[in-house]
Chains A and B, each alone.
Chain A
């Protein structure tokens, strides 16, 4: 039994471009394995505006996203929001919000859940149709394990 505030939403932000799809892959596997039946909503979204769509101020949020390459593809980072590192990122798009921007906007609109955890997996390549790289694919089960450990911890 998970003790987190309900609804618990696990949201993967991604795109079909190479390792940027890793968060979608995590969500897909969690759905397939019917992880925590009835206890968790899973969402695969593209971009910050779609992230905003699933927030209503209630419950808990776990956000998963790819990280820009930094030399260690497949390595994972965990943040709790608010996190100074993420808020400092500047706005990024003509027609979308970055995930961190969406979280800030959600906070100012009063629709950000009280508990927000962010998991990032460092990507390697982001070419269209390249698929997820081996190093990043190897990180997916590790991330799922970490999520499970965190959710099920008493």
Chain B
């Protein structure tokens, strides 16, 4: 029996803190890693089909429903792509409102991930519930997080019309611009939250980070003078520098048998010369944004980064929790800056004429770049839609990280091995769960 292949498969059917349709399999043979598969359920695929034949004017409202956590990201990429077709240029005040709305979503999404989902990994808890129950101090930390997240909610509610699947964004601007008093009413809470966010950075920097780094190709937007949200060129840490319209020339989606989400990879891996990215994997999200745009962050955020004493930018995805915390400071600071200078526009929308064309947009969702492409007919009806979410783009990179850690999991008990793998996945804040969240319940009577 000694020469029989010792195969072992570690399967996590429903990743803890990953929605039920997500799962992961690590296959081992004779102690060697044979393969890693990450399975993701990805509704954007369905939406590409639904959108065909619908009016382009409906696109921001339909795509907002793809995800309950990052609806603004789907609205922003879609509305900007369609506006490119119709030749819409927003005046500065409407552009600033779009950025303010995105700040709200970054705050909500990042705060949730930092405190409820990621911090328990570092502190040895199986989730936010046990973390909050462990001590009054950690309960106070969670309470503070919820208050910060509510401040983000209030921005999305005030600018987006409601907190869930905002409805106020339209092609050409907004249905209604908030009154100045409505935004000023948020200021006190946003100031408290910006201070709380600075504390979060200091706290996150003290967490114990495993020694883990790779020569990732980071990909993010880069704007001439802003930390990127809604606009910019797509750049990478290996010299890529393209317009959003060129995205399909440099990135491709492909099907893998084990997941119903498409994965994305770089197309041009053979021509990049020395140090080329041979796998095609690339890394999007806060770590990539900071790597490529730290110089665009406001002074308060750069100072907070320096004060951590950490080497930033970093190639350690576990330190992503600190970078996410820095982006929360940035979002609160930007929100306050935008509100301070806000004067309601004379009209909340600019005129345009629907016509045939093709438009692309890339915006920075909380978890990385989100690419949309639409083709319209002469009446402005959608002929074709392509949506490449950040998690599809990170999926190959996540599998590469899992391959690297897999050998160290061989001799661990299964539950412990699964937990380690989950932590690697959670670094990417994957948006696997744009799916249902109903109670999975079995009652035997």
CB distance from B47 to the nearest CB of A (A): 7
Question: Is A92 a contact of B437 with CB atoms below 8 Å?
Answer: yes
User: CB-nearest residue of chain A relative to B15?
Assistant: A94
Instruction: Contact check, B129 vs A104: say whether CB atoms are below 8 A apart.
Output: yes
A100 within 8 A of B: yes
Contact among A47, A98, A120 with B68 in the assembled complex (CB-CB below 8 Å): A47
Hey, which chain A residues are within 8 Å of B18, CB to CB?
Answer: 92-94
> Does B179 touch A at the CB level, under 8 Å?
no
Interface string of B118-137 (1 = CB under 8 A from A): 00000000111100110000
- Closest Cβ of chain A to B428, distance in Å, is 9
A126-B438 contact in complex given A45-B164, A94-B19, A94-B426, C-beta closer than 8 Å: yes
In angstroms, Cα B150 to Cα A67, docked, is: 28
Interface string of B61-75 (1 = CB under 8 A from A): 000010011000000
B379 touches A (CB below 8 Å): no
Residue with the highest number of chain B CB atoms closer than 10 Å, among A93, A95, A99, A100: A95
Q: How large is the interface on B (under 10, 10 to 19, 20 to 34, 35 or more residues)?
A: 35 or more
B47 near A89 with CB under 8 A, answer no
Asked if A32 is at the interface (CB within 8 A of a chain B CB), the reply is no
Which of B50, B69, B436, B443 sits near A17, CB closer than 8 Å?
B436
> Are B441 and A68 closer than 8 Å at their CB atoms?
yes
Known contacts A86-B441, A109-B132; is A94 also within 8 Å of B50 by CB? no
- A101 and B438 contact, CB distance less than 8 A: no
Residue of A nearest to B22 (CB): A94
Task: Select B436's contact among A20, A94, A108, beta carbons within 8 Å.
Answer: A20
Assess A65 versus B153: contact at CB under 8 Å? Given A91-B17, A101-B128, A128-B46: no
B408-445: CB near A (< 8 Å → 1, else 0) gives 00000000000000000110011111011111111100
Chain A residue, CB-CB nearest to B435: A17
Which residues of the partner chain B approach A108 to less than 8 Å between Cβ atoms? 129, 132-133, 139
Chain A residues near B437: list those with CB within 8 A. 13, 15, 20, 46-48, 92-93, 96, 98-99
When the two chains form their complex, are residues A65 and B439 in contact, meaning their CB atoms are under 8 A apart?
yes
- Shortest beta-carbon distance from B126 to chain A in Å: 7
Q: Which of B150-177 contact A (CB under 8 A)?
A: 150, 153, 163-165
Whether a CB of chain A sits under 8 angstroms from the CB of B116 is: yes
By secondary structure, the A interface counts as mixed
Which chain B residue has the least Cβ–Cβ distance from A118?
B439
**Which residues in B have their C-beta under 8 angstroms from that of A49?**
112, 116, 149
Main secondary structure of the interface of B (DSSP, over half): loop
Write out the residue numbers on chain A whose beta carbons fall within 8 Å of the beta carbon of B22: 94
Interface flags, A68-110, vs B, CB<8A=1, else 0: 1010000001000000011001111111111111001100110
- The residue in A46, A53, A101 that gathers the most chain B C-beta atoms within 10 A of its C-beta is A46
Given contacts A47-B437, A104-B129, contact A93 B19 (CB under 8 A): yes
Contact-residue bracket for chain A? 35 or more
| Residues of B34-72 whose CB lies within 8 A of A | 43, 46-47, 50, 65, 68-69
Say yes or no: A68-B433 contact (C-beta < 8 A), given A92-B14, A101-B128: no
Judge whether B113 is part of the interface by a CB distance below 8 angstroms.
yes
Q: Which residues of A contact B187 (CB under 8 A)?
A: none
Whether B68 and A96, one on each chain, are in contact in the complex, defined by CB atoms closer than 8 angstroms, is yes
Q: Is B142 an interface residue (CB 8 A)?
A: yes
Contact A67 B438 (CB under 8 A): yes
Is there a chain A Cβ closer than 8 Å to B143's Cβ?
A: yes
Measured CB to CB, the nearest residue on chain B to A99 is B439
Contact between B19 and A91, CB atoms less than 8 A apart: no
Whether B178 sits at the interface, judged by CB under 8 Å, is: no
- Verify B139–A95 contact, CB threshold 8 A: no
Nearest-neighbor residue (CB-CB) of B45 within chain A: A128
For residue A113, CB closer than 8 A to chain B, the reply is no
Q: Compute how far the CA of A43 lies from the CA of B16 in the bound complex, rounded to whole angstroms.
A: 27
| CA gap between A101 and B165 in the complex, in Å | 22
Please give the distance in Å from B90's CB to the nearest CB on chain A: 28
Whether the pair B433, A120 counts as a contact (CB closer than 8 A) is no
Contact of A50 among B17, B163, B440 (CB under 8 A): B163
- Selected A-B contacts with CB under 8 Å, 8 pairs: A15-B68, A17-B435, A20-B437, A70-B442, A86-B441, A92-B17, A108-B132, A127-B46
In addition to A92-B17, A98-B439, 11 A-B residue pairs with Cβ atoms within 8 Å of each other are A46-B165, A47-B437, A53-B146, A67-B441, A68-B438, A93-B437, A95-B112, A95-B430, A96-B112, A97-B116, A108-B129
Chain B residues close to A by CB (< 8 Å): 14-20, 22, 43, 46-47, 50, 65, 68-69, 109, 112-113, 116-117, 126-129, 132-133, 139, 142-143, 146, 149-150, 153, 163-165, 425-426, 429-433, 435-443
